[in-house]
Amino acid sequence: MSSESGLVEPKKRRTRIDPSMRRKAIIEATMQCITRYGHSGSTLERICAQAGVSIGLIGHHFSSKEELMLSTYQELTDQLREETRKYLEVQGGSPDDRLLAIIRSSFRGQIFNEFILTTWLGFWGAAVSSDELRALNKKLYADYRKELEAVFKAIGKQNGTQIDAKSAALTITALLDGFWLEWALDHKAFSAKKAEKCCITTAHMFVNCAAPV
């Protein structure tokens, strides 16, 4: 008998995944389930199967399904803000640059795609019946409008005009949501470039129609 026949293969070591990476993978799996099954159909069992983890591991990172959903919704908003930040780094830092960055980043491929927008739709629908999601949605949108409002005010100060910043922020936010919703339902209705141009044109109307201080 050959001496090699008695050799025992060493056990393969399990690769330990960083907790933050595991958490991110679970959130990504949750998004994938929402696009496929909707919010109500995204059970923990389905999310576990998609992520390739046990329910116990999900429980290690999230205290409940509700916390997981809230974290996933927050992640969507963080992705949008990160795209705005990256776009602004390239374009510059003036108030006008920031306004364009906010609008244009909303129509870039990292955000303006079927997967992300369908996930947003799932959360919008769920917010109707979930107090926790509705409260988070209210806060996220209030923060977003406040950021836009601050940008319009800065542009007005720069130009020596009085822009109706609150109305401008409300209008642009509603336009972005409207384009996202319609495109998610019909990809051929318009291009991302066309939607972007419409939003920028509307924003410039508020800027150009503002009265001198």
Average pLDDT of span 34-50: 92
Average pLDDT of span 74-80: 92
Average pLDDT of span 179-202: 96
Which residues neighbour 88 within 8 Å (Cβ) at sequence distance 6 or greater? Answer: 97, 98, 101
pLDDT (tens digit, 9 = 90+) per residue, 105-161? 999 988 999 999 999 999 999 999 899 999 999 999 999 999 999 999 999 999 999
Tell me what pLDDT residue 4 has: 45
Cα–Cα dist 180/117, whole Å: 7
Average pLDDT of span 52-78: 92
The full set of domains in the chain, from first to last, is: 16-62 (1.10.10.60), 69-212 (1.10.357.10)
Given a contact cutoff of 8 angstroms between Cβ atoms, the answer to whether 74 and 84 are in contact is no
Tell me what pLDDT residue 91 has: 64
**Res 85 pLDDT > 90:** no
Q: What is the mean pLDDT of the chain?
A: 89
Nearest alpha carbon to residue 167 among 177, 159, 158, 175: 175
Given a contact cutoff of 8 angstroms between Cβ atoms, the answer to whether 159 and 149 are in contact is no
Average pLDDT of span 73-82: 91
Average pLDDT of span 162-179: 97
**DSSP string computed for 83-151:** HHHHHHHHH-SSHHHHHHHHHHHTTSTTTSSHHHHHHHHHHHHHTTT-HHHHHHHHHHHHHHHHHHHHH
Average pLDDT of span 36-49: 92
**Res 59 pLDDT > 70:** yes
Tell me what pLDDT residue 186 has: 94
Single pTM value for the model: 0.84
**Res 177 pLDDT > 80:** yes
**Res 2 pLDDT > 70:** no
